Structure 1
């Protein structure tokens, strides 16, 4: 019953309601698209991975599909998608990044294509990325961002996932398992991982009612069960800080052969999973901080507002990577996953690498331009961002510290969606100013935008840890060690350098390197050569002209149990 309105108003209301109902009826329901994955087998070996997508065509009869382009350092990812066919429409490819299907409006379409491997054999352990499909005769390891095509302009679509082993013995582990039971937003396909080999071993743990699964493939000096125990401690520490995260989580773990002298492990966070690839000689304890770092990416920066869009994404890596390194060390110490000595050692390694980096003076625009092509530039946002976090913690200490700001960013991001979303690196300053009145812009302008050298104050970590600043001669071999290794003959020996002064000359038969520490001129290096038909090791200090300033964290040599607890609390919060 409606009272107090004239008939004209009632008539207008009726027309408006009818129009609204008509518009609502005309709006199609979100589509449910089905993605079916299966191995392509030849004489029992996996040759490729087949992807079959069933979906309705767009209402105008032209359906545009986006192909993978760039992700995680992988470029032109569409190169690894082959043999596309369409049932229900005609396929055209106007450019390398897009497939266009013409059909009847809303016609049922079936799109089939294959994903081929990006590598001949295992990925190289010294490669800058592994953001490309790994397809081997005995299985595959894929990231969703690199293999799935999705319809343009249909972000409201939902997707269902289907696994078809095609009669093989492959065992699949994926964070898309929930989509086998119930459709989910299509955006979840990108940040996903799929690993399928006959020898995948799984270990499970319960974290406050949410399952943690470790899916491991290959031989390591530890078991999947041991890794799951360590992962559970690491994840629990992160969840205790953020105050949420009771969702299933998957860690996929694949082994690489370990060339002599190589230890390598790399990973990427993927919302409710992270994917790791590692040489087989890596020790379990080496993963503690790495694991904490990767799990923290579930929040930083995804749930804090996400990354900067487009080609300038690396401009925000000082926050998403550097702050994550800072919190990985801090939370690992806070939870007891590492001790004070391990905490200090991790910082000292990072401070040493920063001080001796060939890119130490690179500004943020140069990081955007060179991040995926220059190793030194690629590491700089990690090193620089972690130190900026220390400076900000000191500046905000009286106002509740950096923890308070990070949790406030989490709360703000939760309340913002779509166009109102602020990328996490850009949200930090306004959130901090709004909560504490403290302006963090000067630190970002100096040390991130312009790339000024950072020197931490002696009391940067509080507690019992102190920061020491040292000056030493610059590191210089006076020898082209890379070319020497390739040709197995000494090369590039500079007559004014320390290698020449020690007795090395161009053209000596090179037998190998002994000792030394790249970047540290205080550590003696030995170059083994053949001299007068006999092996000889020529040793020298790799000191060059100029000076380098290095900082390091010192821990007391003796602490009572009570003093140690107090120190950890002061340092880790």
Structure 2
């Protein structure tokens, strides 16, 4: 692999002098610029040229549910040779055409924000670049050579950014103006986040390993220090559970966005980090951050150390089991003073959500890329199904073993196989693993509840375990359907709360407030019919035979809390 030495001006302790930068296989110099009054990032890339005169760079045009990401690209040019640059959006490539006798290419491209509206949970996955800060995921920011080696030495040069008053922070370090990533796995490099600007950074240590929280803006619902405490507790207890304190650096990046009504938050597990976006209003609270941190940080193991062989096919595991251990970890360790009542409440909510879902018994094969990223119910189905399946397995393993084993033992063995054998989770592997903890053949159990998607008979399970429960419950029922453009009512279920409130097919919708899946918040609609405007509100509930655990002391003791 061709190596190069980049000469650049660096600030030494006091004196300004020229020094050699480290050798690297590929380097990126990043600078903040303004082009036609638009803030942009200028990235100058130096890499080995292909001997055939065509060097292809990978940059996805569609990724993480986003389309047309090439709209974020500004001008592009080869700097050191005559040549041409072409976008090939269909194949997710930028093609550099140059003379065959060139050994090294210097390629410059610009990155900009391609939307004008406020940041939202959707826009967070596109490059955000303005005068105050930037927030960009690696796959949207750094082009990488096609068909390259699995590991490269990568140099990131941020030295053009101000030293004072400007934060540079990312998945590989904090406030480092020159970063050399030695033997960097390219897949891990592509799953990272890079931020800069007016971010505040809080630092700490767990077992000698660095952790940090980077955030910005004026938070309404909580203090930075309280969020950082939740981060410290969560990481400590999760690392103790996995007996894994090997990660020397980890960061959480927390981005606020405006939301007038309701609360919304989401997170993405990344290399050495996770990135989260959170609605900044008084309807968001620290308890939601407890959940979010515990779920996303668990992905350091379930999703990053332990990989799915097929992402969507095993989402019941990577998302569902993560959800279950989120509830369990919080309650077991009283994070933010939450206990077994929290665990029971979250399990009950999950049960209600699954039973209320219109796709609750869809086969696992229907949880595919298109459905997962375009349908709310399909996107949540592996969470709900996997959580209840994990609970079912956990309780049965404990009963079978007389309390000597639990699902924890299964998880630890899967972790061991992943780290020592590079084993990925697939259905055959999981069934084979469970055969060692189950009475009889586990394959029919897996086929029934995961492959076919049948619901666990929870009433029978609760009876068998001696748990006290209510046989029926209020569950979520919106009671009507929108047209595709969500501007009109397409259908209403007669007898539903929506019907009782006066919602009818053909009503025009001029305003709406809906807490998806929540039975505690009213649905509020502004409707127009026959030229007259009116408002309706109702609780989206219906009675159903859905068992719910009671938060009794006896139940919590039996569940180990």
- Tell me whether the two structures share a fold, i.e. TM-score over 0.5: yes
Residue 287 of structure 1 deviates from its aligned partner by: 1.0
Aligned to 2:549: 553
> Of the candidates 137, 144, 153, which is equivalent to residue 143 of structure 1?
137
Aligned to 1:73: 65
Counterpart CA distance in 2 for 1:163 and 1:524 is: 49
Residue 194 of structure 1 deviates from its aligned partner by: 1.2
Residue 473 of structure 1 deviates from its aligned partner by: 9.0
Residue 498 of structure 1 deviates from its aligned partner by: 5.8
Aligned to 2:385: 384
Q: Secondary structure in 2 aligned to 1:157?
A: strand
Aligned to 2:49: 57
Aligned to 1:330: 328
Residue 269 of structure 1 deviates from its aligned partner by: 0.6
Larger radius of gyration: 1
Aligned to 1:451: 453
Q: Secondary structure in 1 aligned to 2:125?
A: coil
- Asked if the contact 1:58/1:105 (under 8 Å) is kept, the reply is no
Residue 396 of structure 1 deviates from its aligned partner by: 2.7
Q: Secondary structure in 2 aligned to 1:303?
A: coil
Please state if 1:99 is matched with 2:94.
yes
Q: How does 1:280-359 map to 2 (within 5 A)?
A: 280-281=280-281, 282-304=284-306, 306-308=307-309, 313-337=311-335, 338-359=338-359
Aligned to 1:237: 237
Aligned to 2:214: 215
> Residue by residue, what CA displacement relative to the aligned partner does 1:185-232 show, whole Å, maximum 9, x if unpaired?
1513212111223x3111112111011100111122322222111110
Deviates more, 1:31-40 or 1:97-106: 97-106
Q: How does 1:127-526 map to 2 (within 5 A)?
A: 127=122, 130-151=124-145, 152-166=147-161, 170-177=166-173, 180-187=179-186, 188-197=188-197, 199-220=198-219, 221-246=221-246, 247-259=248-260, 261-281=261-281, 282-304=284-306, 306-308=307-309, 313-337=311-335, 338-368=338-368, 369-397=370-398, 398-399=400-401, 400-417=405-422, 421-423=423-425, 427-433=429-435, 439-457=441-459, 466-470=468-472, 475=477, 477=479
Q: Secondary structure in 2 aligned to 1:52?
A: strand
Q: Secondary structure in 1 aligned to 2:414?
A: helix
More helix per residue: 1
Residue 123 of structure 1 deviates from its aligned partner by: 3.0
Residue 486 of structure 1 deviates from its aligned partner by: 5.1
- Asked if the contact 1:57/1:103 (under 8 Å) is kept, the reply is no
Counterpart CA distance in 2 for 1:254 and 1:469 is: 42
TM-score, structure 2 as length reference:
0.79
Distance 1:464 1:288, change over 3 A: farther
Counterpart CA distance in 2 for 1:461 and 1:34 is: 62
Q: Secondary structure in 2 aligned to 1:73?
A: coil
Q: Secondary structure in 1 aligned to 2:245?
A: coil
Q: Secondary structure in 1 aligned to 2:194?
A: strand
CA root-mean-square deviation: 4.1
Unaligned runs of 5+ in 2: 4-22
Unaligned runs of 5+ in 1: 1-26
Q: Secondary structure in 2 aligned to 1:302?
A: coil
> Residue by residue, what CA displacement relative to the aligned partner does 1:397-427 show, whole Å, maximum 9, x if unpaired?
335222112111111111235xxx5346664
TM-score, structure 1 as length reference:
0.78
Distance 1:215 1:442, change over 3 A: same
